[in-house]
Amino acid sequence: MKPLLLTAALPAALLGACADRAEAPERPNILFIYADDLGIGDLSCYGGVIPTPNLDRLAAEGQRFTNAYATSSVSTPSRFGLLTGMYPWRQRNTGIAPGNSELIIDTACYTLADALHGAGYGTGAVGKWHLGLGPAGGTDFNVEIRPDARDIGFDYEYVIPATVDRVPCVFVENGRVVGLDPADPITVSYGSKVGDWPTGRENPELVRMHPSPGQGHDNTIVNGIPRIGFMTGGRAALWVDEGIADTIATKAVRFISDHADRPFFLYMGTNDVHVPRMPHPRFAGRSGHGSRGDVILQLDWTVGEVLRSLDSLGIADRTLVIFTSDNGPVIDDGYLDQSVELLGDHTPMGTYRGGKYSLFEAGTRIPMLVRWPARVRPGVQEALFSQIDIYRSLAALTGAALPEGAAPDSRDRLPELLGERHEDRAFVVQQNVSNALSILSEGWKYLEPSNGERYNALVDIELGNSPSPQLYDIVSDPGERIDLADEYPERVECLSRWLDEIRGGSRAK
Ligand code: NG6
Ligand code: CA
C-alpha cells in the first residue's frame, strides 16, 4: 500500500520508472556467463587494479555478490553442479575431464537447460564446455558426436570440448567439428603419442610458450603451444588461440540476436582467464600485468560485446545477466607466461587463502554479478550464496516445472539472486581438487580431514588439506589463519556430522 500513498508526490518521470518496474516481464532472457579461473580480486569492481569497465558497469547496474561460492575449486565439477543442481561429488567421474571424455551428465538427468527449454526458452551453449561429449569409451571427433549438449537440454551448441590447454584444439558446433576436412581425420589420445606431430617434450625448440616444469603441458604442439594430450589430424579445423575470445563473442552475439524475439537462455563459457593465455594482439601487453592481466582485459571486452548487443537489440531491460566464475584464480597453471613475474600489485585472490584447486576460500569464493534492469535494483549482495542454487532459482523465476528428483541439492533462492532479500543460505558446501569437502554455516567453516597434499608447489597454492579437522571463524578471520578446531571441539563435531548428513542426503534438501 505504501507506494500508492506515495505516488501523488512523485514526479512523472519517476512514476514512469516505477510503472516499468512493476510491469517487469516475469520471464526475462537469461544470459549466464561463466568466466574461467577468475578470482574474487580480479575485477576492478572488487578492488582489482586492472580496469574492467564493462564488468564494473554490470556491477553498478546490478547486484555485486561478496559471499557467493562455486561448488568446487576446479571447472568440471562446478559446471556439473550448476547445470544439474546436484553436488558433483555425488557422482563419480566428475573430476577435471580430458578432451576426449564422454558426456558426464546422464542424458536422463533433467538439467537446468532442460528446465528452461521446457519453460519455452531457446537454449544455447557457447564457449568452454568441459563436461565431455559423446559416448563412454572416448569421443570420435570425425562423426556427428552424440550425446552432446543437445541431449541435455540445449537447442544449440558451439563449444570448446574441454580446456584450451587440452587437445583436440577444435570447436564443436551441434556435434560436428567446425571446419573438419574428412580427408584429414582427428585422432586424440590421453595415453601415448598418436601421429607424428611434434611434442613439447621432444621438440622444445618449436614452442613459442614454454610449459612450466613438471606440470605436463608438454604433449602435442598446436599453434606453437604444447598441450595436455596428443592429437593428430584436423589441421583445417584447428582454432587460432588469439582468436578464441573473438569467436566466442561472435557466436554468443549471434545466438542472442537470433533469439531477440523469444525468451532465451544462453550458457556462455569464456576461455579467459584460463591457460594458455594468448590474448589477441589488441590486448597483448596492454594490462602491464603480464598475459594473465591481458586476458582479464580481453574477458572484459567480451562481456562488453554481449552487453552492447543487448543494448542495440533493445532487450537489455528484459535480460537477466549472471556473470560469475567456475573456480578461483591461479597464477602459474602450466605455462611460463610471465604472469607470476608481472603480477605486481594485482591480487587475484583478494585477501583470501588458497586459490584454484583449494578448499580454502580463494578456491571457491568467486565474483558474481547479477543485472536485470527491469527488476534488479543496484546494490551489494552480502548474503551467503551458492551456485548450486542457480538452477532452482531460475526454475522458480521462469515457472519451469521440475520432475521428481531433479536438482536434488538446489534450493530456490530467487530473492537472494535478484538482491531482494539478504538471508544467508543455511550452509554452503565446498569441494577441492582432492575431493575433500568443507561446510560453511553461520560464519564457521569446517574443513574435513584429508590426506591430500597440503601444498601444491607447482602452482604455489595451499590446497586446504590436512589430516586433522580444521575450523575457521570466517567472519573475524576471513583469511583462514587461525585454526580453532582444538578450541571448539563441539562445533567441529556438529559441523562434521552435518556434512555427513548432507553427504548421505538426509538433510540436504
Ligand atoms: C590441471 C592442469 C591445469 C588446468 C586444470 C584444469 C596439470 C598439471 N594442470 O590438471 O593446467 O588445465 O587441470 O583447469 O595438468 S579447469 O579450470 O578447467 O579445472
Ligand atoms: Ca576453471
Bigger pLDDT: 296 or 22? Answer: 296
* pLDDT tens readout for residues 144-169: 999 999 999 999 999 999 999 999 99
How large is the average pLDDT for residues 374-383?
Answer: 98
3-state SS, one letter per residue, for 339-385 = CCCCCCCCCCCCCCCCCCCCCCHHHHECCEEEECCCCCCCEEECCCE
Share of the chain above pLDDT 70, in %: 94
- The yes-or-no verdict on residue 4 having pLDDT over 80 is no
CA of 333 to the centre of ligand 1 (A): 7
pLDDT given for residue 138 in this prediction? 86
CA-wise closest residue to 356 among 130, 37, 35: 37
pLDDT given for residue 11 in this prediction? 39
Three cell numbers, residue 5: 500513498
pLDDT given for residue 81 in this prediction? 98
- The yes-or-no verdict on residue 507 having pLDDT over 80 is no
* pLDDT tens readout for residues 411-452: 999 999 999 999 999 999 999 999 999 999 999 999 999 999
Residue by residue, DSSP assigns 266-277 as EEEE--TTSSS-
Proximal ligand: closest to the CA of 77: 1
pLDDT given for residue 25 in this prediction? 54
Per-chain residues with Cβ under 5 A from ion ligand 2: 36-37, 75, 326-327
pLDDT given for residue 375 in this prediction? 97
CA angle 221, 222, 227 (to 5 degrees): 60
CA of 15 to the centre of ligand 1 (A): 52
At 15, is the pLDDT very low, low, confident or very high (cuts 50, 70, 90)? very low
Proximal ligand: closest to the CA of 38: 2
Compute the mean pLDDT over every residue in the chain, rounded to the nearest whole number. Answer: 94
- Which residue type, as a one-letter code, is found at position 395? A
CA of 456 to the centre of ligand 1 (A): 13
Three cell numbers, residue 475: 567472519
**Which atom of ligand 1 lies closest to the CA of 326?**
17
Proximal ligand: closest to the CA of 332: 1
How large is the average pLDDT for residues 282-298?
Answer: 98
